[in-house]
Amino acid sequence: MEKDIVKYIKEGLETLYKVEINSLKVSVEKTREGIDGDYTVVVFPLVKHSKKKPEDTARDLGVFIKQRYDDIASYNVIKGFLNFKMTQEYWINRLKELTLNKHTTPNIANEKIMIEFSSPNTNKPLHLGHIRNNLLGDAVSRIIEAAGNTVIKVNLINDRGIHICKSMLAWMKWGKNSTPNSTNQKGDKFVGDYYVLFDKSYKEQVANLMSSGLSKDEAKDKAPLMIEAREILQKWEAGDKEIHRIWAMMNSWVYDGFNQTYNKLGINFDKVYYESSTYLLGKEIVAKGLENNIFTKDPDNSVWIDLTDQGLDRKILLRSDGTTVYMTQDLGTAFERFEQFDPDKIIYVVGNEQDYHFKVLKKIVEKFDTDYSSKIEHLSYGMVELPEGKMKSREGTVIDADDLIDEMILTATKISEESGKINDLSDEERENIIKTIALGALKYYIIKVDPKKQMTFNPNESIDFTGNTGPFIQYTHARICSILRKAEQMNIKFKGKISTETNILNSEIKIIANLTEFDNTIKESANRLDPGIIANYIYNLVKEFNQYYHEHSILKENNAGVLQFRLQLSHQVALTIKNGMKLLGIEVPEKM
């Protein structure tokens, strides 16, 4: 409707004031609460065409448009604002369009967009921080695709480097050939325990060296465990067969564990990259950079790039012993992706502690004769903490993703049993609904927060059946489905044509107006890379419907036309909830 109002305003200006308008920017907004109207036009910028006061211009345009267009019921002027109220017939027709699926999602660019997310290390299991990364990446992928783009979801697994060598060394020293099967542990959890064990022993060695007179930095550098870990890394890069055998074996345990967690979360990828391959591509890029004087080699054979003239610093790309750093593999991966897939954009979903890293990456890529740098975008998000504070992987104080999911399922089970609402279902149905509620609570609580903001995850708050939570939205969807099932049992037909003579309420108009904003909400969410926009849109729609349902009867309505309208309205609300939550990777049950 906003486009139609812009057209009406343009016609009014040309007819009333005899001006020719080739391009016109008109601000059309939803009318604020407490003011009579549905859409508001800001008139102040139009006075240059009318040569009149804003109030007079608004009245002229209001009279002109009201006389000519049947979808305008009335208008009013408040200072320089022209408010239009639409006819009931207009809103009924809008609902018809929605139920007939005649609306189309606005296409923001029709681009090919690659989205990298997850990117775990193979020295520890996925934890709460990874959950936010995965949920953001998955939701953004779904939303961008819904906005009309081609999406390629990729994962870069950090399967090599000094941190991986630490877990390997600890297992080699203290593992006694144990395996996840022999200890009845999930593979990624098993390996992660050895990473924690390394750190504990390493800290003890550092403390001992410091007590003998070394500085903290000297002690950290000369601790025997760190020296051994570096030796393993050098052997790995030199292709040592035994080191590679252990590395491949331990990584296979971790991959099995990762896949179990991804399946629980409903996460999948179109392509998986491994740093053990991409770091070689990075070395090739470094070699080209040296040939073209983009990089420089120091006397100790380390390779650097100096970006101090651009407000950054001097960045290392190869260590003196020839081993690589994260930047090296990111360069290699970026160039391979552009050459292989030719994406219009690559979006990296990575925490805000890596903001500087991606500034440097873009600057380095910019030095090469390509347009790749302008196509790199960093979706930076804030860290997740628990109510008790920050988590630390090395100290083993993180909340494993699997443990958190299991805890959510236990809580959902307890709440469901206490309510008794699903006790009459089969065991399989009950189990599926409980899992749906638990994952919906977890996902929604994290996704609803603006990605840029740091957040605290509170499991108990997330699974509440009131307020801005996943279960509250899921319960509303189940409630509407129950209403529609009862209507069918009563042989009430509600999917036919709605009469435009039906008298509808202001609260119903408000719901329809909200439903018509769904496509624009998808567009805004895709443009801003913020799934929280959709989450909060759904919550507001659910709040409006619940208030309406509380105040007005649906199945007990005696007027057949009104009953049919209300059922169709309810059906469209349920469908929008389902489609919106699906974009967030959340299922909504039909029974709860």
Residue 77 shares a structural domain with residue 150: no
In a domain, 259, yes or no: yes
Q: Tell me, what DSSP letter sits at residue 29?
A: E
Average of per-residue pLDDT across 231-244: 93
Alpha carbon 464 to its chain centroid, in Å, reads 22
Average of per-residue pLDDT across 178-188: 97
Residue 139 shares a structural domain with residue 252: yes
Q: What is the domain range of residue 405?
A: 401-583
Residue 418 shares a structural domain with residue 557: yes
Residue 44 belongs to domain with CATH number: 3.30.1360.70
Calculate Rg over the CA atoms of the chain: 30
Residue 193 shares a structural domain with residue 268: yes
Residue 405 shares a structural domain with residue 377: no
Residue 245 shares a structural domain with residue 329: yes
Tokens of 298: 């120091």
Average of per-residue pLDDT across 279-301: 93
In a domain, 238, yes or no: yes
- Contact, 490 vs 418, CB < 8 A? no
Q: What angle do CA 310, 314, 319 make, to 5 degrees?
A: 150
Closest CA to 202 of 399, 395, 392, 391: 395
Measured distance CA(325)–CA(385) in Å, rounded? 28
Alpha carbon 206 to its chain centroid, in Å, reads 41
Residue 420 shares a structural domain with residue 468: yes
Residue 531 confidence (pLDDT) above 60:
yes
Residue pLDDT, tens place only, 191-230? 999 999 999 999 999 999 999 999 999 999 999 999 999 9
What pLDDT band is residue 396 in, cutting at 50, 70 and 90?
very low
Residue 392 confidence (pLDDT) above 70:
no
Give CA separation, 543 vs 304, 468, 475, in Å: 56, 9, 12
Residue 391 confidence (pLDDT) above 50:
no
Residue 363 shares a structural domain with residue 413: no
* Count of the separate structural domains present in the chain: 3
Residue 441 belongs to domain with CATH number: 1.10.730.10
What pLDDT band is residue 106 in, cutting at 50, 70 and 90?
low
Average pLDDT along the chain: 91
Number of H helices, E strands in the chain: 22, 14
Residue 347 shares a structural domain with residue 312: yes
Kindly give, in sequence order, each residue whose CB lies less than 8 Å from that of residue 32, ignoring residues fewer than 6 positions away: 40
Q: Which pLDDT belongs to residue 105?
A: 54
Residue 198 belongs to domain with CATH number: 3.40.50.620
Residue pLDDT, tens place only, 356-373? 999 999 999 999 989 999
In a domain, 102, yes or no: no
Q: What percent of the chain has pLDDT over 70?
A: 96
Last residue within a domain, chosen from 86, 106, 138: 86
Residue 380 shares a structural domain with residue 411: no
Residue 206 shares a structural domain with residue 255: yes
Last residue within a domain, chosen from 28, 63, 86: 86
Closest CA to 425 of 592, 280, 296, 276: 592
Residue 307 shares a structural domain with residue 283: yes
In a domain, 561, yes or no: yes
